Amino acid sequence: MSVRSHPVVALAGASKAYEDVVALRSADLVIERGELLAVVGPSGSGKSTMLNIMGTLDRPSTGTVRVAGHDIDDLSDRELSALRASTIGFVFQQFHLATGVPALDSVADGLLYSGMPRRERRRVAERALRRVGLGHRLYHEPHQLSGGEKQRVAIARAVAGDPPLLLADEPTGALDSRSGAVVMELLHELHEAGTTVVVITHDRDIASYLPREVRLKDGRIEHDSAVGAASAALVPEGALR
């Protein structure tokens, strides 16, 4: 079985405890390549912990987490970093753009560990910025960009290496409604181009517009629309009449 045939993320009974606080409880979740979904829940529901687990930024206390077919507990920290660099792009609510650094270099710097020479990194960065509609802002610094433009720079940085998985943590949280709508439209476009996109959000309205919704409460998955759909498909025709 090829690596590409594996789910991009698979959690089986994954839990995470921090001393006496259990932040994630026995989570079972499979994300196939090419999906677009929301992980939604209020503050303290376990969203950030699930993001860290899916993004290999943290390891589970119990259970199994596989990313692109790799059990993360079987990997050294160095191997895990390499997997993360090749497989996952991160977009956060805060843009994390360095003061005084033009958009082109902000994106190119995200490819420092790729082994590409500087000229190639800048070429890839320009392509990524044009992909998100910022070809006219290549040399603008953060203070010259709107909030929506800053988030698009952050998205360009996340997808410049063409990772199969994009994790977007509250990507519209720091934006006005118009800029937020533009960012969500961009995430849809990236999904249509083949990227698996997971949006972590507290906003039920955003979640309701995505094809799949995974809802967390008190560290547990209380609802997964994909599981509900699969269960409904097993009900014989006419049984609900």
Q: What is the pLDDT of residue 6?
A: 87
Q: What percent of the chain is helix, strand and coil (3-state, nearest 5)?
A: 40, 25, 35
User: How distant is the alpha carbon of residue 156 from its chain centre?
Assistant: 13
The amino acid at 227: V
- At the topology level, CATH places domain 3-233 in Rossmann fold (3.40.50)
Find all residues with CB under 8 Å of 189, minimum gap 6, and list them: none
Domain ranges of the chain: 3-233
**Residue-level pLDDT at 126:** 97
Q: With contact defined as beta carbons under 8 Å apart, do 132 and 155 qualify?
A: yes
List all residues 6 or more positions away from 143 whose beta carbon is below 8 Å from its beta carbon. 99
48 neighbors 54 (Cβ within 8 angstroms): no
- State both tokens at 43: 């503050």
**Which helix (H) or strand (E) segment is 84 a member of?**
helix 77-87
Average pLDDT in the chain: 91
Closest CA to 171 of 55, 90, 66: 90
Q: How confident is the prediction along the chain (241 residues), in pLDDT tens digits per residue?
A: 344 568 999 999 999 999 889 999 999 999 999 999 999 999 999 999 999 999 999 999 999 999 999 999 999 999 999 999 899 999 998 899 999 999 999 999 989 877 889 999 999 999 999 999 999 999 999 999 999 999 999 999 999 999 999 999 999 998 999 999 999 999 999 999 999 999 999 999 999 899 999 999 999 999 999 886 544 444 444 443 3
Separation between Cα atoms, residue 6 and residue 234, nearest integer Å: 24
- Asked whether the beta carbons of 206 and 199 are under 8 A apart, the reply is yes
